[in-house]
Amino acid sequence: MRVLGIETSCDETGLALYDTSRGLLAHAVHSQVAMHEDYGGVVPELASRDHILRLAPLLQKVLADAAVSQESIDAIAYTAGPGLAGALLTGASFASGLALALGIPALPIHHLEGHLLSPLLSKDLARFPFIALLVSGGHTQIMAVTQVGAYALLGESLDDAAGEAFDKTAQLLGLGYPGGPALAKLAETGMPGRFKLPRPMLNSGDFMFSFSGLKTAVLTAAREHTLSAQDKADLAAEFQEAATEVLAAKSLAACRQRRLSTLVVAGGVGANRRLRERLDSAAAKQGVRVCYPELELCTDNGAMIAFAAAQRLLAGKAEAPNKEGAFAVRPRWPLATA
């Protein structure tokens, strides 16, 4: 079975072709970072218009790279939510129109389910059941996963997600957009501990997160000092230490509580080198195996959508396909209800 995946939830246009017998055949992603950089963040209208421009060329590239025709596709999966409404609609309409023309089903897929299952695309495969740490864009969640479609929410952020806190802290330090990768790079030259930042909810006894206070602590430190270049590096390093310490501690605590020995980490923040170092070190002491997607699959991409749809189809848990080209998107969509 061959599934085309389409991802347009925010500022990346991603298409991919996944074959249940041969694996990932090809995938391509166009990032809109350069377009949104001047605005300091994603402009929804511009994002939607750019997706429209990119979808057809990326489809042709994926088909050419996979050396297959579009007639060989058995199903099309698209991100139906959560995400920006206009951006979601571009992918949903493209997928539904193409599916109608080819006479094949178009399947709505949850964006976070794509991220959650993406480590299973890795050569170092994870196995059910496992704990999942989802750190993607505006989402920070810990899930207990028993099988495809069975996701129990254990905890999430009460305010800013980790990725949002990274981006907003980067802006406070004058690092521009996108801030997370820039802050992580700056932190490599800094010395953590010179500035003292809190570890919010580290000892709360649950799996909830809060990162807005950490961001505010950075703002307070910036206002109290005239920051030199080294000061900014040290502050970035301390922020990264604080955020990754909380993420790692709560994820591994969830593994202990559920008596599970596999932790899956997915989403853009999952590419953070310090988070991976901290998780790998602490997990080894606890006898927990940590699985990550390939670095190129940490950001939004079509491969994770195609793979999630394929797994749902194989498990007999796919939503009923759209009829006669009809489609809907869900900008707000809890993963537990997917």
Contacts of 70 (CB under 8 A, 6+ apart): 59, 63, 98, 102
Mark whether 249 and 222 lie in a shared domain: yes
Query: In terms of residue numbers, what domain contains 157?
Result: 128-292
Mean pLDDT, residues 165-185 taken together: 93
Per the domain annotation, does 123 fall within a domain?
no
Mark whether 105 and 248 lie in a shared domain: no
Backbone angle region of 174, left / alpha / beta, with phi > 0 → left and psi within -120 to 50 → alpha: left
Per the domain annotation, does 132 fall within a domain?
yes
Mark whether 104 and 6 lie in a shared domain: yes
Per the domain annotation, does 62 fall within a domain?
yes
CATH number (domain holding residue 209)? 3.30.420.40
Task: State the residue for tokens 């377009």.
Answer: 35
Per residue in 82-124, pLDDT tens? 999 999 999 999 999 999 999 999 999 999 999 999 999 987 7
Q: How confident is the model at residue 322 (pLDDT cuts 50, 70, 90)?
A: low
Mark whether 201 and 273 lie in a shared domain: yes
- 227 DSSP assignment: -
Mark whether 157 and 257 lie in a shared domain: yes
Per residue in 4-18, pLDDT tens? 999 999 999 999 999
Instruction: Say yes or no to pLDDT of 43 above 80.
Output: yes
Mark whether 156 and 228 lie in a shared domain: yes
Per the domain annotation, does 122 fall within a domain?
no
Q: How many domains does the chain have?
A: 2
Q: What is the mean pLDDT of the chain?
A: 95
Q: Are the C-beta atoms of residues 256 and 286 closer than 8 Å to each other?
A: yes
Per residue in 249-293, pLDDT tens? 999 999 999 999 999 999 999 999 999 999 999 999 999 999 999
Per the domain annotation, does 29 fall within a domain?
yes
Backbone angle region of 59, left / alpha / beta, with phi > 0 → left and psi within -120 to 50 → alpha: alpha
Task: Give the DSSP letter string of 120-174.
Answer: GGSSS---SSEEEEEEETTEEEEEEEEETTEEEEEEEBSSS-HHHHHHHHHHHTT
Mark whether 169 and 110 lie in a shared domain: no
Mark whether 286 and 307 lie in a shared domain: no
Pairing of strands 130-136, 23-31: unpaired
Mark whether 175 and 151 lie in a shared domain: yes
